[in-house]
Each structure stands twice: as structure tokens, then as C-alpha cells.
């Protein structure tokens, strides 16, 4: 009997995820492999049955067998199914991730494969079903959050697994550093930002003592690095050449629009291609002596038009979305050609 588990992080509080997952009959709202679904009973409680319609026109039913709202766990059994399996039982568990606004979702399934069917390919198909469900739920949560936040650019923004977050800055782009404290938001440009560690992901950025953004980071304990696009060349140069200390309205003058990700009180710049929210790892010696700030990445997102499946896809995306790389004196390069090593 194959017994499969798919565990992944969702950048959303456990309670918010659970309110969606527990609506047993509404899975079609977020699972890309299900075109319609409904509950064949008044309420979703243990024993109730949902009917699922697949894009192929086939229909299957699943009975809710476990519903534990306090533990945020539900389990179900497949009853009528066109799949070549029997005794199919599955569960979903949503648990908070300490010190973050994210949660861990564990999807499990076990089943017997009918005689004559290849067990390994059936296990792969079910793993894909669990994975697609997880990604569909992430997209659904994000579009919900972004529309609640009134952010129009939402549909392209997708969460990036923290284990892949380092890839967002590995190519050395110029970044925008943003921070908030005491009702004050600010953004500056930084060329000296890079990855420091994979797990948990960490980044470094050099922030000079003359930058007004620095005090906001030190006081709030948080900052964001985001990757401006070729489209934002002038904006990047403007926030890198004017200090908020001289022009309190610098963000308006530079054309910066801010938004937030729910659960994080850190301002983010609209129109970038990726965003990393970082918790400051306070190292007063490094900060004072080298202007070097270290942050642990606690949330990561990217524009899915240009970053997909853990990889930048600049060659397929509109040129306006390319990252920019600072030299000096107002000169930048946009990212160029992709190359792969030969084996």
C-alpha cells in the first residue's frame, strides 16, 4: 500500500488556511485538478460526503471521516472513484510555524492500487495531485490576501519557498531596501546585497550610516529587499540619490507605490519582480564597524511572469521585467543572456 506525504510551507497564518481547507465541499475553489465540487449534505461534519467533478467529466465522491478544528486536521476516504485505486484515505493538517505568520501544511494519502496497474506511476500521479492541490491553495490564499489588501498587481505574485529564496538575489541585482517604524516608511537603493545562507535563508546588505532607512531597520527589527525591474531604473536611481532626511516626500517624488503582505508590517514596493521580507539578526559590531546588516528571510514572493518553479525565466519574460545591476555614476546593466554548463 503506497503511503505518501507532501509537506510544505504556506505564507499565511494557520487559522486563515484552515478556514479554507475545512470547507470540505468547496475544494474546487482552489484545487486546479477539480473543476466543480459540492457537499451532498447540509454541513461539513464527520460522515458527510462531497462530490468532485474532474475536467475529464468523471465524478468521484469522498466521505469526511475526521474533522478536528482545534487541531486543524481533517481526514477523508474516497468512495466512488474512476482512479484505479481502492481503500484510498487522505488527510490534511495545518500547523503554525513558530515566530512567523506562515504555517506548515501536511498532505497525506494511502491507498491500494488495483491489479495490473503500475504502483510507482500511481504513486507519482497521487503525489502530483497533492502537490498541485498545495500550490493551488497557496495561489488562492495569495489572491485572497492581495485583493483584501487592495493590490491590483496581485495575480502575478506567487510565494517562493524559503528554501529557494536565495535564488532571488543570487544573480547580484541592485535591490531596493524598505523598512517601516513609528509610522514612517522609507526605501533606498542598495547594490551591496547578497545571499548568506540557505536554511534558514539569510541575506546581507550594506547600509551606510547616512541612510535614513538604517534607523527604521534598527528600530523595527525588519526590512525588505526587493528586486526592481528595468522599468524602475529611474525610480531606483531616485531613491538612491535622495535621502528621506532631506526630502520627507521622497517616495512620492520618486513614484514609489507601497503595499503590504498580510501578516507582515513591512512596506513593499509595487512593480518589483521579487520581494524578501527579512528579520534583522542584530549584530551591533558588524553594523557599527562595517555597516553590514544580516537578515533572516521570513517571507519570499516573486512575479510568476519572470520567476517560476524556483528559477528566473528572464529570457521568456518581457524585457521590462529584467533585473538591473549597478556599476557607478548612473550606469546600470540589465541582466543578459542565460547560459548552462555542459555535463
In the complex, which residues of this chain contact ligand FMN (CB under 6 A)? 174, 186, 188-192, 206-208, 210-213, 237, 240-245, 250, 326
**Please, what is the minimum distance in Å from the beta carbon of residue 318 to ligand FMN?**
22
CB of 232 to ligand FMN, least distance (A): 11
* Least distance to ligand FMN, CB of residue 178, Å: 10
Burial of 325 (0-12, 13-18, 19+ CB in 10 A): middle
**Cell representation of residue 96:** 503554525
Measured from the CB atom, the residue of 105 and 227 that comes closer to ligand FMN is 227
**What's the closest the beta carbon of residue 172 comes to ligand FMN, in angstroms?**
12
State in angstroms the smallest separation of the CB of 296 from ligand FMN. 19
Residue with smaller CB distance to ligand FMN, 7 or 282: 282
CB of 332 to ligand FMN, least distance (A): 7
Q: How far is the CB of 306 from ligand FMN (least distance, A)?
A: 20
Give 97 or 196: the residue with its C-beta nearer to ligand FMN. 196
If the CB atoms of residues 208 and 265 are measured against ligand FMN, the closer one turns out to be 208
- Smaller CB distance to ligand FMN: residue 166 or 237? 237
Residue closer to ligand FMN (CB basis): 105 or 217: 217
Q: Which residue is nearest to ligand FMN (CB)?
A: 240
CB of 210 to ligand FMN, least distance (A): 6
Cell numbers standing for residue 49: 460526503
The Cα 307–Cα 168 span in angstroms is 8
For the chain, give the secondary structure using H, E and C: CCEEEEEEEECCCHHHHHHHHCCHHHHHHCCCCCCEEEECCCCCCCCCEEEEECCCCCEEEEEEEEEECCCCEEEEEECCCCCCEEEEEEEEEEEECCCCCCEEEEEEEEEEECCCCCHHHHHHHHHHHHHHHHHHHHHHHHHHHHHHCCCCCHHHEEECCHHHHHHHCCCCCCEEEEEEECCEEEEEEECCEEEEECCCCEEEEECCCCCHHHHHHHHHCEEEEECCEHHHHHHHHHHHHCCCCCCCCHHHHHCCCEECCCCCCCCEECCCCEEEEEEEECCHHHHHHHCEEEEEEEEEEEECCCEECCEECCCCCCHHHCEEEEEECCEEEECCCCCCCCC
Q: Which is nearer to ligand FMN, 213 or 323 (CB)?
A: 213
In angstroms, what is the minimal distance from the CB of 291 to ligand FMN?
6
For ligand FMN, the closer of residues 27 and 191 by Cβ is 191
What is the distance between the alpha carbons of residues 14 and 73, in angstroms, rounded to a whole number?
11
Q: Give the integer Cα–Cα distance in Å for 64 and 62.
A: 7
Of 151 and 332, nearer to ligand FMN (C-beta) is 332
Amino acid at each position: 500500500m503506497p503511503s505518501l506525504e507532501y509537506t510544505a510551507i504556506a505564507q499565511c497564518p494557520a487559522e486563515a488556511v484552515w478556514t479554507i481547507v475545512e470547507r470540505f465541499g468547496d475544494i474546487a475553489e482552489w484545487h486546479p485538478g477539480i473543476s466543480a465540487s459540492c457537499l451532498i449534505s447540509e454541513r461539513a461534519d464527520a460522515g458527510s460526503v462531497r462530490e468532485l467533478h474532474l475536467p475529464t467529466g468523471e465524478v468521484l465522491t469522498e466521505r469526511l471521516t475526521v474533522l478536528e478544528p482545534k487541531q486543524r486536521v481533517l481526514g477523508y476516504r474516497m468512495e466512488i472513484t474512476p482512479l484505479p485505486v481502492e481503500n484510498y484515505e487522505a488527510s490534511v493538517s495545518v500547523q503554525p510555524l513558530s515566530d512567523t505568520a506562515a504555517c506548515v501544511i501536511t498532505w497525506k494519502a494511502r491507498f491500494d492500487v488495483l491489479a495490473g496497474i503500475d504502483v510507482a506511476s500511481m504513486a507519482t500521479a497521487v503525489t502530483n495531485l497533492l502537490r498541485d492541490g498545495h500550490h493551488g491553495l497557496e495561489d488562492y490564499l495569495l489572491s485572497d490576501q492581495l485583493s483584501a489588501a487592495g493590490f491590483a498587481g496581485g495575480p502575478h505574485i506567487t510565494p517562493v519557498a524559503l528554501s529557494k529564496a536565495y535564488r532571488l538575489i543570487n544573480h547580484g541585482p541592485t535591490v531596493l531596501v524598505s523598512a517601516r517604524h513609528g509610522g514612517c516608511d522609507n526605501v533606498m537603493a542598495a547594490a551591496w546585497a547578497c545571499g548568506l545562507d540557505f536554511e534558514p535563508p539569510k541575506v546581507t546588505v550594506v547600509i551606510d550610516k547616512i541612510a535614513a532607512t538604517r534607523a527604521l531597520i534598527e528600530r523595527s527589527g525588519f526590512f525588505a529587499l526587493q528586486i526592481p525591474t528595468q522599468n524602475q531604473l529611474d525610480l531606483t536611481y531616485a531613491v538612491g540619490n535622495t535621502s528621506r532626511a532631506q526630502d520627507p516626500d521622497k517616495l512620492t517624488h520618486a513614484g514609489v507605490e507601497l503595499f503590504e503582505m498580510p501578516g507582515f508590517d513591512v512596506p513593499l514596493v509595487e512593480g518589483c519582480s521579487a520581494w524578501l521580507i527579512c528579520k534583522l539578526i542584530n549584530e551591533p559590531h558588524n553594523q557599527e564597524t562595517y555597516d553590514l546588516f544580516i537578515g533572516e528571510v521570513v517571507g519570499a514572493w516573486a512575479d510568476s511572469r519572470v520567476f517560476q518553479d524556483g528559477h528566473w525565466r528572464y529570457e521568456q519574460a518581457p524585457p521590462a521585467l529584467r533585473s538591473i545591476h549597478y556599476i557607478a555614476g548612473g550606469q546600470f546593466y540589465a541582466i543578459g543572456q542565460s547560459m548552462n554548463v555542459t555535463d
